[in-house]
């Protein structure tokens, strides 16, 4: 017997300042938007077969035989919705009603002894779970909004949740468009997915199909079908898990290309479509703070947005969700498409060629719309809100001003890029590729140096050096710039002894590579400059080591380049100090 229980609870969303720091990873990393929890009486072993059956088919199944432990676990769930199955003596649900994480509750019992009947029951439960999960995931569409008053926003600790979400999504889209992905990107993604679905036979089969048959011209099919690709990407876009988003980067970039191609192939059909629709439900608190209070502002859906030109389809979806959550706000997004605003940076297209059974329009990830109006509509059953959106020009001046922090080509001044680099440090794939990791640490160090945060810069330069030593011999000339950068940072902190130690190592490595002496900005040029700075510092502060250091530098510069004009300056300063 399977019983469905309606869950009613209120949401308590608040608009609070959000610190732009990476989320601390949990011990168990979930990669989908939901969890299945089965609470059953441990004295009864009759559910073991059913549990093992579901475990092979559904991701994220956890079991409990203690109600307090189960409630504690659910209370600690932060980013997922919970589908709860109750069996045995735990056939009560009053103590679960207050849990906002709970999406739906099922009471399952199988009193029949015949295996066929028992399997039929678990098959019915699996089918019901799949339908409910799919409906929930279609509604798990995150929205990012900035108000029409947001003129001067940047990546800082004062950003609101709305502002940070909007900027983050636009920044990720901007960065992915610039990245070049290696041919091994698909293999990296496949390995990651196999690891996380290792106990799920159904998804492992789909992953094998993807590994064997995926081609770039099929990317939209994979992204729009309800499989591991869309499930994971939808979740990590919402939770900002940059290291996983990066793994999907090659798919996102290929989707951009395919949407543009599809639009060109179906231009005549697209010209007949001017308005499309999408249904969604959300708490009234979220609706008020995110949408109702931001009329005239900009809105983006954080994932690929699938819409329909049939308004009834959107209304039916909202009605189905409302049947499960009658306390939610039902929203119909009506999107006005101006065909003249199509651009390859934010393409959209009819998916007719992707799936002949689909009459849907897909917008590229994080496409921006303007909230034109918000109207309330009612019927005998529920209140619905019609939110009219308008596709806007990518060159809209107000939007360009808001997005300026994400589009700065100078990474030293692009705080969004700075934050993304930190997120990539969480990527095991990066940690297993030392050359990439070196570039990553160098990038962070360069940014910290430009911000005059020399201690933090030094830490990343030293990590870059240590990582370089895992694949380069200790006397390789490519290490010289790294020792030089470390020396620079010690010098900026007025730690002259350590600065000189690293300059000395850099000099020795440059001497091994004579080609450096012939390059602009080569060894002798920058060493002469740094030597002069050091000696002037010693002269002004009368440090006790100044004489020996000056003589050392003078000797080294002399050996490095006899004809360098800067050598005369160094010798002159050395003579002054020795006097």
Assess whether 423 and 398 both reside in one domain.
no
**Residue 401, domain member (yes or no):** yes
* Residue 282 to residue 328: CA distance in whole angstroms: 6
**Residue 86, domain member (yes or no):** yes
Assess whether 427 and 525 both reside in one domain.
yes
Where in the sequence is the domain holding 375, given as residue range(s)? 156-406
User: What is the pLDDT at residue 55?
Assistant: 85
Q: pLDDT (tens digit, 9 = 90+) per residue, 31-55?
A: 999 999 999 876 656 778 888 888 8
Assess whether 344 and 439 both reside in one domain.
no
Three-state DSSP string of 97-145 = CCCCCEEEEEEECCCCCCHHHHHHHHHHHHHHHHHHHHHHHHHCCCEEE
Assess whether 469 and 402 both reside in one domain.
no
Q: What is the pTM of this model?
A: 0.72
Q: Considering 379, 406, 433, which residue would you say is the last residue of a domain?
A: 406
Assess whether 100 and 173 both reside in one domain.
no
Q: Considering 337, 372, 406, which residue would you say is the last residue of a domain?
A: 406
**Residue 144, domain member (yes or no):** no
Assess whether 263 and 181 both reside in one domain.
yes
User: What is the pLDDT at residue 429?
Assistant: 60
Assess whether 342 and 421 both reside in one domain.
no
DSSP state for residue 412 in the 8-state scheme: G
CATH number, residue 252: 3.90.176.10
Assess whether 122 and 220 both reside in one domain.
no
User: What is the pLDDT at residue 350?
Assistant: 92
Assess whether 256 and 219 both reside in one domain.
yes
* Residue 396 to residue 398: CA distance in whole angstroms: 6
* Residue 486 to residue 506: CA distance in whole angstroms: 10
Cβ neighbours around 371 below 10 Å, total: 21
**Residue 146, domain member (yes or no):** no
Assess whether 101 and 7 both reside in one domain.
yes
**Residue 127, domain member (yes or no):** yes
Number of domains into which the chain is organized: 3
Assess whether 166 and 226 both reside in one domain.
yes
**Could you say which residues of the chain have pLDDT below 70?**
1-28, 42-45, 88-93, 110-120, 150-159, 354-358, 379-381, 405-406, 408-430, 512-579
Q: pLDDT (tens digit, 9 = 90+) per residue, 138-184?
A: 999 899 999 877 655 655 545 677 777 788 888 888 888 888 888 88
Percent of the chain with pLDDT over 70: 71
Taking Cα atoms as reference points, which of 421, 400, 405 lies closest to residue 158? 405
* Residue 560 to residue 571: CA distance in whole angstroms: 14
User: What is the pLDDT at residue 240?
Assistant: 79
Residue pointed to by tokens 């050395």: 574
* Residue 456 to residue 471: CA distance in whole angstroms: 24
* Residue 327 to residue 336: CA distance in whole angstroms: 29
CATH number, residue 94: 3.40.50
**Residue 560, domain member (yes or no):** yes
Q: pLDDT (tens digit, 9 = 90+) per residue, 228-244?
A: 999 999 999 988 787 78
Q: Are 281 and 326 in contact (CB under 8 A)?
A: no
Backbone angles phi, psi at 137, to 5 degrees: -65, -35
Record the tokens describing residue 22, joined without a space: 């990476």
**Residue 150, domain member (yes or no):** no
Assess whether 371 and 444 both reside in one domain.
no
β-strands 102-108, 305-308 pairing: unpaired
């Amino acid at each position: 017997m399977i019983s469905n229980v309606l869950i009613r609870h209120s949401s308590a969303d608040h608009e609070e300042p959000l610190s732009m720091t990476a989320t601390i990873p949990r011990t168990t990393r979930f990669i989908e938007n939901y969890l299945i929890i089965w609470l059953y009486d441990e004295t009864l072993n009759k559910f073991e077969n059913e549990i093992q059956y579901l475990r092979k088919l559904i991701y994220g199944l956890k079991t409990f035989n203690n109600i307090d432990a189960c409630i504690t676990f659910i209370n600690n769930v932060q980013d997922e919705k919970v589908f709860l199955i109750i069996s045995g003596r735990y056939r009560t649900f009053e103590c679960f009603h207050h849990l906002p994480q709970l999406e739906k509750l099922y009471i399952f019992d199988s009193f029949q002894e015949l295996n066929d009947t028992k399997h039929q029951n678990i098959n019915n439960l699996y089918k019901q779970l799949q339908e409910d999960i799919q409906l929930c995931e279609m509604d798990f569409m995150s929205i990012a909004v900035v108000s029409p008053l947001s003129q001067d926003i940047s990546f800082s600790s004062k950003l609101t949740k709305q502002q940070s979400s909007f900027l983050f999504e636009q920044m990720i889209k901007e960065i992915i468009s610039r990245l070049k992905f290696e041919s091994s990107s698909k293999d990296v993604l496949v390995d990651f997915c196999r690891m996380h679905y290792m106990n799920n036979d159904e998804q492992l089969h789909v992953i094998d199909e993807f590994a064997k048959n995926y081609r770039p011209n099929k990317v939209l099919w994979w992204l729009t079908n309800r499989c591991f690709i869309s499930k994971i990407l939808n979740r990590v876009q919402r939770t900002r898990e940059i290291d996983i988003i990066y793994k999907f980067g090659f798919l996102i970039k290929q989707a951009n290309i395919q949407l543009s191609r599809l639009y060109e192939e179906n231009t005549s059909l697209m010209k007949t479509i001017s308005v499309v629709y999408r249904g969604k439900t959300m708490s009234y608190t979220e609706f008020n703070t995110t949408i109702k209070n931001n009329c005239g502002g900009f809105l983006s859906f954080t994932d690929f947005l699938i819409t329909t030109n049939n308004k009834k389809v959107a209304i039916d979806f909202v009605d189905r969700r409302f049947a499960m959550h009658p306390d939610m706000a039902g929203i119909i997004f009506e999107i006005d498409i101006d065909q003249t605003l199509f651009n390859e940076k934010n393409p959209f297209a009819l998916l007719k060629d992707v799936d002949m059974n689909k009459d849907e329009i897909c917008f590229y990830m994080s496409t921006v719309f303007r909230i034109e109006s918000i109207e309330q509509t009612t019927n005998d059953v529920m209140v619905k809100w019609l939110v009219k959106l308008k596709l806007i020009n990518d060159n809209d001046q107000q939007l360009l001003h808001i997005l300026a922090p994400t589009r700065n080509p100078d990474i030293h001044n692009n705080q969004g890029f700075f934050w993304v680099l930190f997120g990539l440090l969480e990527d095991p794939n990066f940690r297993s590729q030392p050359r990439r990791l070196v570039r990553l640490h160098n990038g962070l160090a360069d940014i910290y140096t430009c911000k005059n945060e020399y201690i933090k810069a030094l830490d990343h330069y030293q990590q870059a050096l240590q990582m370089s030593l895992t694949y380069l011999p200790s006397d390789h000339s490519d290490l010289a710039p790294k020792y030089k950068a470390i020396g620079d940072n010690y010098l900026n902190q007025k730690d002259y002894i350590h600065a000189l130690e690293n300059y000395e190592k850099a000099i020795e490595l440059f001497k091994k590579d004579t080609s450096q002496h012939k390059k602009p900005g080569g060894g002798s040029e920058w060493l002469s400059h740094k030597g002069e700075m050091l000696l002037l510092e010693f002269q002004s502060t009368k440090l006790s080591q100044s004489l020996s250091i000056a003589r050392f530098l003078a000797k080294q510069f002399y050996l490095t380049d006899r004809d360098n004009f800067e050598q005369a300056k160094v010798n002159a300063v050395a003579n002054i100090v020795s006097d």
